[in-house]
Amino acid sequence: MGQVNCVVIAGAGIGGLCAALALAKQGVRVVVCEQAASLGEVGAGLQISPNALKVLRQLGLESELSQFVFKPQHAAIRDYKTGEYYLKSPLGKQAEARYGAPYWHLHRADLHQVLAAACAKAGVELVLNAVVIGYRENTELKQVCLLLEDGREFCADLLIGADGIRSKVREQMLGQECPIFMGQVAWRGVIPVSDLTVDVKPDACVWAGPGRHFVSYYLRGGDYVNFVAVEERSDWRSESWREEGDVEELKRAFADWHPEVSELIKSASSTFLWALNGRDELPTWHKGRVVLLGDACHPMLPFMAQGAAMAIEDGYILAKCLSNYALSDALLKYEQVRKPRATKIQQMSKANAGLYHMHGGVFGRMKLKALQAAGRFAPSVIQSKLDAVYGHDVTKN
């Protein structure tokens, strides 16, 4: 190891636990501090694309996770009214053959549970009720200490800030700055298939419409349908970034959409409403003995379904750099490798918002029609854009 024997991580989300597991497998002592009283994830789905699955495979989790997955057959974009397909790109066995790993749908809670169990087995120490207030570096002792609200301190060779978009670690490193509200909110929920009154296609499907879009896909072997309904809003008045959503308001917002959408929503009994926030590109991801990963340094709109995937890649590459280089060089190399890719996918996600929401009226619809034509007559053009995302393999590069 390059001068790192002990690491403390702020945040036990997917990115933090992936980093913890990758480091523990290299023989590093890892302590993860999580502010929640118990481990768990709010009920929602995740799209695990081949680039992320290659990391989970390398970490030894593929077999354990496979019992929870649903394998979609296509990635689709459809019209909110007519149901017309603007895009229908093959996933399933074709994607697996092309990218060397399948495309999965997973419940967040299932991935989180498997990751946490693997971390415990690898010797990672998990500390709950650990509310972070900041950190202190000691250059003489060559260590950094994570400071908790209750007065506890956890000292190590390196601190990883994996504590999300409102990261306390990032705040101390780069200054206090509120996340930027991106002018959109997202309702999220999971519905048992037994409650549905409509047939839902076995695809990762985006329904595009003026000023809003709807995403649906199956989870847990097809027993549940996950949905994400995004609507543009001029403001977000709540102080919370996530709150209980009003199901009736959601039903009204999508009442005149295609029956596959409106009928699906009618079966929803509860939902969470999330503010979609972002940040400008940070000047740096590391300083001294402190480094950031995931939403703490590159939060992104969920319109490429790559938020979790990027955090998973971050954790693996950071551990790899720390095993190959001295600390300062490792952190520099990590940022050099990860920042261009994360920034590019941030930009792609933001651009998709305009596409899915038909920005520009008639012109917006023309862009979708152009996508439709490309899918029919030049599918390699569309495939090449996805290749750069899904074909990436951090376990080999």
The per-residue pLDDT for 42 is 63
Strand segments (E) across the chain: 6-10, 29-33, 45-48, 74-79, 85-90, 104-107, 125-127, 132-138, 143-148, 153-156, 158-161, 180-192, 204-209, 212-219, 224-232, 242-244, 272-278, 286-287, 290-292
218 is a catalytic site residue: no
> Buried b / exposed e across 268-289, counting CB within 10 Å, b at 16+?
beebebbbbbbbeebeebbeeb
The per-residue pLDDT for 325 is 96
Residue 1 has pLDDT above 50, yes or no: no
Q: Evaluate whether residue 226 is within a structural domain.
A: no
- At 74-114, the pLDDT tens digits run 999 999 999 999 999 889 999 999 999 999 999 999 999 99
Residue 55 has pLDDT above 50, yes or no: yes
Residue 296 has pLDDT above 90, yes or no: yes
- At 192-220, the pLDDT tens digits run 999 999 999 999 999 999 999 999 999 99
Q: Evaluate whether residue 98 is within a structural domain.
A: yes
The per-residue pLDDT for 376 is 80
Higher pLDDT, 343 or 242: 343
Name the helix (H) or strand (E) containing 27. none
State both tokens at 316. 């693996």
Contact between 208 and 80 under an 8 Å Cβ cutoff? The reply is yes
For residue 65, name the pLDDT band (cuts at 50, 70, 90): very high
Q: What is the mean pLDDT of residues 309-314?
A: 98
Q: Evaluate whether residue 13 is within a structural domain.
A: yes
Between CA 222 and CA 328 the distance in angstroms is 46
Q: CATH number for the domain including 143?
A: 3.50.50.60
State both tokens at 120. 């415990």
Q: Evaluate whether residue 190 is within a structural domain.
A: no
Residue 43 has pLDDT above 70, yes or no: no
As for how many domains the chain has, the answer is 1
Range of the domain at 103: 6-178+279-390
Q: Please pick, among 99, 135, 217, 334, the residue that the annotation labels catalytic.
A: 217
Question: pTM for the full model?
Answer: 0.94
The per-residue pLDDT for 343 is 95
Q: Evaluate whether residue 57 is within a structural domain.
A: yes
Q: Evaluate whether residue 124 is within a structural domain.
A: yes
CB-facing half-sphere around the CA of 392: CA atoms within 13 A: 21
Q: What is the mean pLDDT of residues 65-73?
A: 95
The per-residue pLDDT for 41 is 63
Q: Give the count of beta carbons closer than 10 Å to the beta carbon of residue 70.
A: 21
Q: Evaluate whether residue 153 is within a structural domain.
A: yes
Name the helix (H) or strand (E) containing 57. helix 50-58
Q: Evaluate whether residue 200 is within a structural domain.
A: no
Least confident of 40-49, 292-301, 320-329: 40-49
C-alpha pair distances (Å), 123 with each of 36, 48, 119, 205, 225: 20, 26, 6, 39, 35
